[in-house]
Amino acid sequence: MAHVDRQAWDVVVVGAGGAGLRAAIEAREAGMRTAVICKSLFGKAHTVMAEGGIAASMGNANEHDNWQVHFRDTMRGGKFLNQWRMAELHAREAPDRVWELETWGALFDRTADGRISQRNFGGHEYPRLAHVGDRTGLELIRTLQQKIVSLQQEDEREFGAYDARLKVFQECTVTRVLKTEGRVCGTFCYERESGRFFVLEAPAVVLATGGIGKSFKVTSNSWEYTGDGHALALLAGAPLINMEFVQFHPTGMVWPPSVKGILVTESVRGDGGVLRNSEGKRFMFDYIPDVFKEKYAQTEDEGDRWYEDPDNNRRPPELLPRDEVARAINAEVKAGRGSPHGGVYLDVSTRMPAEVIKRRLPSMHHQFKELADVDITAEPMEVGPTCHYVMGGVDVEPDTAAANGVPGLFAAGEVAGGMHGSNRLGGNSLSDLLVFGRRAGLHAAEYAASLAERPAVDPLQIDAAEAEALRPFSAELVEEDTGREPGPAENPYTLHQELQQAMNDLVGIIRKESEMFEALKRLADLRVRARRAGVEGHRQYNPGWHLAIDLRNMLLVSECVARAALEREESRGGHTRDDHPAMDRTWRNINLVCELADPQGDARAADAALGQIRLSRRETPPIRRDLLELFEKDELAKYLTDEELSR
């Protein structure tokens, strides 16, 4: 094998979105030499797309807000399946993380008396989302980048080199986390432009790679979301949890087809937008589930009054958690009351003056004008559900963000599981990135510093990773490896499209047993064919090759989603079973754990029919008593079993 460049660092952070940058800042501030590596350009992570805001109970818009209320809302939103310790840490620490951002230069929108403004969002009892118009993610990344540059300037003054202790490798992809004697020792990477391979040696690796949406056809997610971190963790021997819970955001664009799935921020509803069907009816009043009946307005008048007087009225049902709204839209369309392009109507034009819409929702105004030729100040938008977020992810220790079972591996942000339970509330991701990004960076740094000796990278592992990455250039050799008959080379783009279609049709917003069996069959077939994914040309910027590599990851995570969704015989949050429509209390404290069936970590070796993933059940630890006491007993009785309640 050719020589592969190796560089030694203390901590490697994979991903430069909000979680990755926050982790890197913390690790560097703890004195660790930290490398950040990202697939896209620096500053171009998915976090940039976040629109609505960061949830943090600062109490600026309503003084009754505090971390306990935020914790309650988060648990309710996740239907009590959340890793409660994560939900607690998140609710407690989010305000500090927002204030910290401000001290680093973030320019949030202000209240009339000069405090950080906070807006309403679904499932949040009080206005809680700190925001910058509808471009909050952009400001968050800008601020974190600015902080990184300031740290690099410090290093330049001290060591004469900007990247002495904090270096960004942009447009580079990690294909393997490397391990020695069960512990992390680095990452195998390639440069997208040149195709050059290199290894970052480090005893601690933080995964902050975001989500998996590109496995679905209709999605709000960007090209980077191919589930890489989820797959890297699995391949390194770390389990994933809760993979059946995939959030379909209720409002994506449905027209024109080229932009189907692009997000329409929840702020539209938070700021007063309403949903109507083709008959002009505000249908959400028909879809308030029993568990939320007491918390939501029963009439349009009351819902409308809430915007002005939230203390004496209940919120409108358009602001139910996302899973409820997505299912309601789905049901309306199915019942023939949808809009011409298969969605429903979301209207702000009759609710706010045009200049207010343009000021509060500038990106939405621009997006609809440019992409659909719709002026949202004058006419309603057509919207429908779009795959948006994965609640499942790497099984982590709540306080340290350490991945279960693999010393030296950490995970934060969307790639980590547990925090959001079965359904994430809007705004809770940006705060999650900051809270757990910081914790992951801190504990990765502590772990790296605690080691007397650094684990060495085995050259054979580098060779294996290189051979795996180069396989698409010699698709026929692959067949010899597996002992199967060679077949025609497969086009990675075709395979990707088929995967997206299968996931959308068979493991989408409403699921049934027979369809998920079918999905697993198709995934097995795609997996065999993906082994023959072939590309032509050379390694210099070759997107077909990049996709062929990413397919391994998408197939792995898709199987996790399908297997876990098949196993969970109830409906909860982002998992709806047509054949098991009710939420079942006996499932509340069950986590479904996905691990690689072949513990050697070689995804291709597993038998096609059995699949690559082994699934097991695990009970979550009981919720701490003082946290349970934040809820009324009647409410707990809707979620907890009688046995749990009596305990």
Is residue 136 part of the contact set for ligand FAD (CB under 6 A)? yes
- Binding region for ligand FAD (CB under 6 A) out of 35-43, 62-70, 446-454, 610-618: 35-43
Our finding on whether 46 is near ligand FAD (CB under 6 A) is: yes
At its nearest, how many Å lie between ligand FAD and the CB of residue 572? 20
Q: Confirm or reject binding of residue 214 to ligand FAD (CB under 6 A).
A: no
Q: Contact 100/67 with Cβ under 8 angstroms?
A: no
With both helix axes pointing from N to C terminus, report the angle between 84-103 and 136-159 in degrees, rounded to the nearest 10. 70
Q: Do the Cβ atoms of 222 and 46 come closer than 8 Å?
A: yes
Residue 603 sits at φ, ψ, to 5 deg, of -60, -30
Q: How far is the CB of 613 from ligand FAD (least distance, A)?
A: 19
> Which string of x and - marks every residue 472-501 that binds ligand FAD (by CB under 6 A)?
------------------------------
Query: Of 227 and 570, which has the nearer Cβ to ligand FAD?
Result: 227
Figure out which of the listed residues 4, 13, 14, 233 binds ligand FAD, where binding follows CB under 6 A.
14
Q: In angstroms, what CA-CA distances link 342 with 334, 349, 382?
A: 9, 21, 8
Instruction: Select the residue interacting with ligand FAD from 69, 75, 178, 208 (CB under 6 A).
Output: 208
Write out the E strands in 28-147: 34-37, 54-55, 118-119, 129-130
Of residues 221 and 422, the one with the C-beta less far from ligand FAD: 221
Please report, as a single letter, which amino acid is at residue 466. Answer: E
Minimum CB separation of residue 473 from ligand FAD in Å reads 19
Restricting to residues 48-67, name those near ligand FAD by CB under 6 A.
49-53
The CA distance from 21 to 208, in Å, is 9
Looking at 135, 276, 315, 322, which residue is catalytic?
Answer: 322
Q: H/E element holding 7?
A: strand 5-8
Rounded Cα–Cα distance for residues 218 and 266 (Å):
18
The encoded tokens of residue 338 equal: 């949808």
Residue with Cβ nearer ligand FAD (137 or 303): 137
Q: According to the binding rule CB under 6 A, does residue 210 interact with ligand FAD?
A: yes
State which residue, 132 or 478, has the beta carbon closest to ligand FAD: 132
Q: Does 19 bind ligand FAD (CB under 6 A)?
A: yes
List, in sequence order, the alpha helices (H) in 183-253. Answer: 228-236
Nearer to ligand FAD, 370 or 629 (CB): 370
Min separation Cβ 390 and ligand FAD, Å: 9
Residue found by looking up tokens 């952070």 in the block = 13
Nearest residue (CB) to ligand FAD, 441 versus 524 = 441
What is the 8-class DSSP label of residue 6? Answer: E
Which residues, at least 6 apart from 416, have a Cβ–Cβ distance to it below 8 Å? 207, 393, 394, 396, 401, 436
118, 120, 152, 220: residue in contact with ligand FAD (rule CB under 6 A): 220
> Other C-beta atoms within 10 Å of 560: how many?
33
Token duo for residue 153: 């300037």
Q: Please pick, from the candidates 37, 61, 551, 556, the single residue that binds ligand FAD as defined by CB under 6 A.
A: 37
Task: Figure out which of the listed residues 40, 542, 558, 576 binds ligand FAD, where binding follows CB under 6 A.
Answer: 40
CA nearest to 227, candidates 201, 205, 241, 209: 209
Residues in binding contact with ligand FAD, number by CB under 6 A: 41
Cα separation of 304 and 121, whole Å? 15
- Is the CB of 427 or the CB of 455 nearer to ligand FAD? 427
CA distance 117 to 130: 6
Which x/- pattern over 389-408 shows residues binding ligand FAD (rule: CB under 6 A)?
Answer: x-------------------
| Beta carbons within 8 Å of 105's beta carbon, 6+ residues apart | 143, 146, 147
Q: Which of 221, 251, 349, 571 binds ligand FAD (CB under 6 A)?
A: 221
What x-and-dash track marks residues 77-116 binding ligand FAD by CB under 6 A?
----------------------------------------
Indicate the pairing of strand 11-14 with strand 204-207: parallel
How far apart are the C-alpha atoms of 390 and 393, rounded to whole Å?
7
Among residue numbers 416 through 445, which ones bind ligand FAD (CB under 6 A)?
Answer: 426-430, 433
Using the CB atoms, write b or e for 99-113: b if 16+ within 10 Å.
ebbeeeebebbeeee
* CA–CA dist 100, 129 (Å, integer): 15
Q: Is residue 511 among the annotated active site residues? A: no
**String marking each residue 167-206 x if it binds ligand FAD according to CB under 6 A:** ------xx--------------------------------
Give the torsion through C-alpha atoms of 467, 472, 475, 480, to 10 deg. 20
Quick one: which segment of 47-55, 68-76, 375-383, 611-619 binds ligand FAD (CB under 6 A)?
47-55
Considering the complex, state which of residue 204 and residue 297 has its C-beta at the smaller distance from ligand FAD.
204
CB atoms within 10 A of CB 29: 17
Rounded to a whole number of angstroms, the distance between the first and last alpha carbons of the chain is 60
Q: Which is nearer to ligand FAD, 81 or 174 (CB)?
A: 174
Q: Which of 4, 11, 20, 242 binds ligand FAD (CB under 6 A)?
A: 20
Count the helices and strands in the chain (H runs, E runs). 19, 20
User: What's the min distance (Å) between Cβ of 66 and ligand FAD?
Assistant: 19
Binding residue for ligand FAD, selected from 65, 125, 201, 228, defined by CB under 6 A: 228
Please report whether residue 321 would count as binding ligand FAD according to CB under 6 A: no
> Would you say 16 or 361 has its CB closer to ligand FAD?
16
Q: Which residues bind ligand FAD (CB under 6 A)?
A: 14-20, 37-40, 45-47, 49-53, 136-137, 173-174, 208-210, 220-221, 224, 228, 263, 389, 413-415, 426-430, 433
Residue positions annotated with a catalytic role: 322
